[in-house]
Amino acid sequence: MSDFEERAKEAIANPQNMGEMEDADRVGTVGSPDCGDMLRMWIKFTEKDGKKVIDRASFQSFGCQTAIAVASMATELLKGKTSEEAKELSPHDLSGDLGSLPPMKIHCGELVQNALSQALDENPASTEEAVPSAPTLASDMNSASKKGKIKIVPLNSEEDA
């Protein structure tokens, strides 16, 4: 097992910041057309030294374990960053202590990066507008799965394509 796989396994065993955030300011959801995995990220801002910075971030993911490991790292790394700083982070940056993503896993990091940039770019800052109208990731997944658009792979699956 490579160092990356070892560290990813540890991160998956104890993921940080996993779950919906009820008082989030922003939310971003992306799905990968290649593998069918989906990821949603919530962001909450705070004011520090006159700057608007990320107070906390959380995520929910269905599918790939690498995306879960990266999202777990990324949601820790984002704390204290401004929107602009967060937008500049590459998938490798977001992987933090996991180390460089193997070539086959780069798109897993991009899924996290895309969810983050969607949250930062496209969704209203107002909690009233953003969050209550946002369906849960599970409901999105269920309806997409019923329409035969995606295949759901349980998190405890050995399969980590």
Which residues of this protein are in contact with ligand FES, per CB under 6 A? 32, 35, 37, 63-64, 66-67, 107-108, 111, 161
Instruction: Note if 64 is an active site residue.
Output: no
CB of 84 to ligand FES, least distance (A): 26
CB of 35 to ligand FES, least distance (A): 3
Residue 33's SS3 state is coil
Which of 108, 116, 130, 134 is catalytic? The answer is 108
Measure the CA–CA gap between 33 and 27, rounded to whole angstroms: 20
Residue 67's SS3 state is helix
Contact 123, 115 (CB under 8 A): no
Query: Nearest CA to 70 among 105, 32, 42, 45?
Result: 105
CB of 116 to ligand FES, least distance (A): 14
**Complex with ligand FES: residue 58 or 113, whichever CB lies closer:** 113
Instruction: Note if 108 is an active site residue.
Output: yes
Which of 12, 35, 53, 161 is catalytic? The answer is 35
Strands (E), 81-140: none
Q: What residues act catalytically?
A: 35, 108
